[in-house]
Each structure stands twice: as structure tokens, then as C-alpha cells.
Amino acid sequence: MEKWVVLVLLSFALKGLSQDTYDWLSIDCGSLTKTTTASGILWQTDEKFTKAGINKLVSTDNFNSLGVLNSLRAFTQQNKNCYNLPTTASSRYFLRAAFYYGNYDGLSNPPTFDLEIDENKWTTVVSSLVAPVYYEVIYASKGDNIFVCLAQTVANQFPFISSLEAWPITDTMYNHMDRNLAWLNSYRYNYGTKDLILGYPEDSYNRIWIPAIPSGMVAKIANTTTLSHTTDEQPPDTVILDAIEAPGPIDSISLLFNMSKNNSLYYIEAYFTGMEIDDTRSFDIYVNNNYLITRSPEFENCTGAWTTTNNHTGTLTTVELRPTAESTLPPIISAIEVYTASDPLVTTGTSQDDLDGLAAFVSKFEQLQGWSGEPCLPTRWQWLGCNSGGPLRVNSIYLSGYGLEGPLPDFRQMTGLETIDLSNNRLNGDIPDFLGSLPNLKQLVTGNPHLGHHKKENKALTSVVAVILVVVAGVYLIKRRACKGKVTKPGLSGKLNSHEDNASTAHLRPNPPPVSPVSPVAPTIPLRRPNQQQNPPNPPAAASAGNTDPTAQASNHSRPSPRQEDIPISGNATDIR
């Protein structure tokens, strides 16, 4: 099984620090403060690694002395919530996620949800009401980070996490595993003991070893305290120096492992050592009744045997140690690890153009800043639609009612968009011109009264200014014509101050020259086209609360209503307001 339920609380605080742990990452999820254990391990808060979720504590009835499990981070708002873990490109990592429900919400209903890595599903988390649950995987990073995500799969069952760890392994460890797959730890048993090994410092590579003495087997302890040689996987000496053996020299050891996935690939590694200097035992190893190798364990020397197998007959995998004819002692085994291969990993995620466009949304609006990780795989963000064939593109944005405020960001690179729903928000500013050039856009739903309002005010102001200029030009020409009609005859002095004077001299005035009729011509004000860079005229200042000018009020009521043609949309796009 890919799940371990540890009946005693995991003592993660027993880890220490050495020169080899500087690049380990340990996150105490939901904690308000970072802590350093007595042995030197730094447990960080998760604020640097995720912006989603809320901090919670387990119920007081479930409190214990292991502080790392008393806090957790719960995710009740988003369907997908990710941690961004810094890594080194192409390095392989052990990842471990732990979940201790502790009835933190008082509902006595531990949730089930999915755990994901980058674009791929890791496993399904089935949390427990009474005990911690943890999951481990070996995974090769593709870049400078790994996203570990929690996705809601059942209504009203909200994901949570108690701790998250990542530490690198050497290239020689588990080097027979295909690096193009993730390897989920299904079993890791330390045979012949009742002591639980909780990672570092007992294990230099931080692995948890579950004690086991199968029914009918005999527990053994080696007559030494050191090993002179071990395998590339470097299991702890304390794991190898105790073991189980069959009851008699002709008896076999049969170990059964119930795997959760049928027809999957498994990796099995078993470890052996001799108990005495003069051990004379040898045995054949069979996996699912297929011969693997013969082993003769040596005193103070750890040897291993590994295989990959694909069980086509069901989920039950069997490992058998059968004594050879030459052996005088029963078969023996110290420890075993079993891993399940993931499905083929998705290596190409959402288009980088879409990632850049979504990043603009996330950075612009506070309500979206909890979203991170791969947006379309394996669980897509709840406000997106993604295509199902060909290069992975975002084709829909559904942000209705998210409380977004302010102008829209620039997301012109998201050329796969077919539908954009931005209704029921408080967006404002101009409707971006680039929306008209999105080649696949078919439906734009705005529904924000103030979105595009600025541009419409400018158009109204431009029309008013044009009318005023026409009137001014007409008045000017009329006055100019009137002035030309008032001409005094040469040779006559004095002013014509009376009606009589005007009458007596009327016959002396020459007729004015004919004037051609002139029609006033309004100056043209070029309207800005969408692709021009000049700034639009400033909108008229809004009237103050105390303004009672009826002219200003009438102007406001006469403002033209929004028109659909103000939104440039190519093709057969529709704007629904």
C-alpha cells in the first residue's frame, strides 16, 4: 500500500543536522513560527512556499508533545492548492508529506483528497481520525522548483497538510529506477525488531523504517555492532544488524505485499547480512514465483538484491527465500523496500504563453494570489477551461463574482482563449484593445459598469467640443460679414450720429461689393483608432457632492449609454453585458 498509518505519533523532532543536510527542506505547515529541534533541524513556516489556505491547530484533546504535528494548513477556498519547493534541476529527491487530522475542525470527519506533483498525480490521501498518515516518493526535478499540490476531490472534504519535506539523494542510490517515473514508497520494513526508525540521524537519508516480525519467523540479532560494507542505498546499520530467519534449515521465508495498483511496475530491494562469523547459509530468491538470484550473506557485510517486476496476475506480490541444498542454516532477511512506479509522467504542461498571461492575473488581483502550480494538469484551476487535445492551452477564463477591482492586466499572449467571463466584478478602466486581436475569442462577458467607462466619457467630450467649435466658427463669420458692411465714404468728415444724418447722406454711400455666401466649416477632430498610441482626452471632472449646478446635472444625464461597438472583437465574438 502507498499509505502508512503509524500508530505511534511520528517523532520527526528526533532528526539532527550534519554537513549533508544543509539543502534539506522541512516545512511545519500551519505553524506561525519557525523552530529548530534540539538536534539542529530547522522547521520553517510555510508562508514562503504557499499563499493559499489558513493555519489551524488540532483539537486540544489530540495535542501531543510533537509540535510539528499539532499545526496544519487547511484549504477551504480553492480546488487546488500548491507548495512551491526550490530544488536543483535534474536532481532526484525524496519527498514526504504528512497528514495529522487531529479533529482540527471538530467534525470528526477526516477528508480524502488527491496529492499531486507538478503535472502528475502522486496519490490519494486517506487521512485518519486517530493517527498521522504520511506518503513518500522519489522524484526527479525538471527545473529549479517542484510544485506539490493538494486537490479537493470530494464535496465538503477539504485538503490539509501537517508537514512537507524534501531532501536530495545521490546519483548512485536507487540507480536502477527509471528516472522518467516517480517511485512511490509502498513498504519499508525493518525486520526482527520492534523499534521504529524515524529518519535522520539514525538514517542518513531520512527514511522511516517500520519494525516487523512476521508470524512464524524468528527474530535474530547479529553478533557485531558494525558493518564494513553496505550497498549503494546505504541502509542504517541498525536496520541491517537485526533480522528474521525461517524456523528451520529447510523452511522458506514467504513475504506478501498487497499492492494497490494492478498491472503496475514495482521496484523491490532486499538487504541481508550474516549473523555469525561462520554462517553457512544460502538461499534462492523468487519474486512472484520467478527466480531472481541466489544469496549467501556474509558476516559484517550488507548485501542487497533488487528487481523490477510487473505483476500481471493481480495486486498481490510475493517474495520468497528458499534454502538451497547446500545451506545448513535457515534463510534470513534484514530489511526490504518496495516501491510502485507512477503512470508515465506528463513532461509538457500548459503553454508558457498561457502561464505568463495567468501570472499577470495572479499578480494583479489580490483575490487570485493563492493560485500557483500547473493550471491545467492533473487538476485544473476552478476558474479555467483547458483544451483536451493538441498543445495544452487555456481556452476559457471564468472569473465571475471573484471581487476583482481595477483595470485588466495585459494577457494578449493567451491566444487560445475562446471565452472570457469577467462579470459581477468591480473592474474599471479601458477595455484593452488587444481583445480585438485574440484570434479564437468567441464570447466576452464583461458585466462591469465602469469597465470602458473612461473611454466613453472621452468620446462624449470630443463630440461636445466639436459642436462648440462649429458654433464659435459660425458666430465669427457672421460678425466678420457685418463689420465689412460698415464703410465710410472718402472725403466726408465727422460722425454720422443721427437718423437724419444717415438719411441725408444715404445717397452718397456706395453700394457694398457683392459678398459670396460662406458656409461655416467645423474643424475636424481626428478620433483615435485602436492602434494609435496618442492618449485620449481627459474626461470631464466629476461634480462634487455639493454641486447643484443644473447644467452640470443635465450634462451627466445626457451622457451617451455604452454601445457594443465600443468593444473591438474579431470574428463572430459576442459581448454580453
Reported as a single tens digit per residue, the pLDDT across 451-499 is 875 544 444 444 544 445 555 555 556 666 665 554 443 332 333 333 3
For residues 191 and 546, the model is more confident at 191
If phi > 0 it is left, if psi is from -120 to 50 it is alpha, else beta; for residue 139 that is beta
Question: How many Å apart are CA 3 and CA 187, to the nearest integer?
Answer: 9
Residue 428 burial (C-beta neighbours within 10 Å; 0-12, 13-18, 19+): middle
Q: Which residues pair with 71 in a beta bridge?
A: 57
Asked if 273 contacts 333 with a C-beta cutoff of 8 angstroms, the reply is: no
Q: How confident is the model at residue 570 (pLDDT cuts 50, 70, 90)?
A: very low
pLDDT at residue 14, rounded to an integer: 38
- Segments of 106-162 assigned E as strands: 112-117, 120-126, 133-140, 145-152, 160-161
pLDDT at residue 483, rounded to an integer: 56
3-state class (DSSP) for residue 519? coil
pLDDT digits (tens, 9 = 90+) for 394-413: 999 999 999 999 999 999 99
| Buried residues in 219-234 as b, exposed as e (16+ CB within 10 A) | ebebebeebeebbebb
Asked if 113 contacts 151 with a C-beta cutoff of 8 angstroms, the reply is: yes
Say which range, 39-43, 100-104, 414-418, 541-545, has the weakest mean pLDDT.
Answer: 541-545
| Phi, psi for residue 27 in degrees, rounded to 5 | -115, 120
DSSP calls for 327-338 = -SS--EE-EEEE
pLDDT at residue 468, rounded to an integer: 53
Query: In 186-317, which ranges are continuous DSSP H helix?
Result: 237-240
pLDDT digits (tens, 9 = 90+) for 288-335: 999 999 999 999 999 999 999 987 667 889 999 999 999 999 999 999
Side chain identity at residue 194, one-letter code? K
Q: How confident is the model at residue 144 (pLDDT cuts 50, 70, 90)?
A: very high
Integer angstrom CA distances of residue 326 from 245, 249, 251, 301, 311: 17, 10, 13, 21, 31
pLDDT digits (tens, 9 = 90+) for 19-77: 367 789 999 999 999 998 877 789 999 999 999 999 999 998 887 767 789 999 999 99
DSSP calls for 139-204 = EE-SSSEEEEEEEE-STT---EESEEEEEE--TTTTTTS-TTS-EEEEEEEEET--PPEESTTTST
pLDDT at residue 30, rounded to an integer: 96
Three cell numbers written together for 399: 472569473
pLDDT digits (tens, 9 = 90+) for 210-266: 999 999 999 999 999 989 888 999 999 999 999 999 999 999 999 999 987 776 899
pLDDT at residue 476, rounded to an integer: 55
Three cell numbers written together for 366: 489580490
Asked if 540 contacts 453 with a C-beta cutoff of 8 angstroms, the reply is: no
Name the helix (H) or strand (E) containing 473. Answer: helix 453-485
Those residues with Cβ within 8 angstroms of residue 137's Cβ, 6 or more apart along the chain or in another chain: 94, 95, 117, 122, 123, 182, 183, 184, 185, 342
Query: In 324-452, which ranges are continuous DSSP H helix?
Result: 352-364
What does DSSP say about strands 394-398 and 419-421: parallel, antiparallel, or unpaired?
parallel
| Phi, psi for residue 465 in degrees, rounded to 5 | -60, -40
How many beta carbons lie within 10 A of that of residue 36, not counting itself?
A: 10
pLDDT at residue 471, rounded to an integer: 54
Three cell numbers written together for 55: 493555519
Three cell numbers written together for 348: 509538457
Name the helix (H) or strand (E) containing 553. Answer: helix 550-557
Asked if 183 contacts 32 with a C-beta cutoff of 8 angstroms, the reply is: no
Those residues with Cβ within 8 angstroms of residue 408's Cβ, 6 or more apart along the chain or in another chain: 364, 422, 427, 429, 431, 432, 451
Long-range contacts from 464-469, C-beta under 8 angstroms, 24+ separation:
465/525, 465/537, 466/522, 466/523, 466/525, 469/522, 469/523, 469/525
Question: How many Å apart are CA 357 and CA 517, to the nearest integer?
Answer: 60
Residue 443, pLDDT > 90, answer: yes
Residue 572, pLDDT > 90, answer: no
Q: How confident is the model at residue 388 (pLDDT cuts 50, 70, 90)?
A: confident
3-state class (DSSP) for residue 323? strand
Asked if 288 contacts 311 with a C-beta cutoff of 8 angstroms, the reply is: yes
pLDDT at residue 469, rounded to an integer: 53
pLDDT (mean) for 120-140: 96
Integer angstrom CA distances of residue 445 from 396, 558, 566, 577: 11, 26, 14, 6
Question: How many Å apart are CA 186 and CA 256, to the nearest integer?
Answer: 12
Question: How many Å apart are CA 170 and CA 304, to the nearest integer?
Answer: 17
Q: CA quadruple 543, 546, 549, 555: dihedral positive or negative?
A: positive
Question: How many Å apart are CA 171 and CA 436, to the nearest integer?
Answer: 52
For residues 516 and 170, the model is more confident at 170
Question: How many Å apart are CA 382 and CA 378, to the nearest integer?
Answer: 12
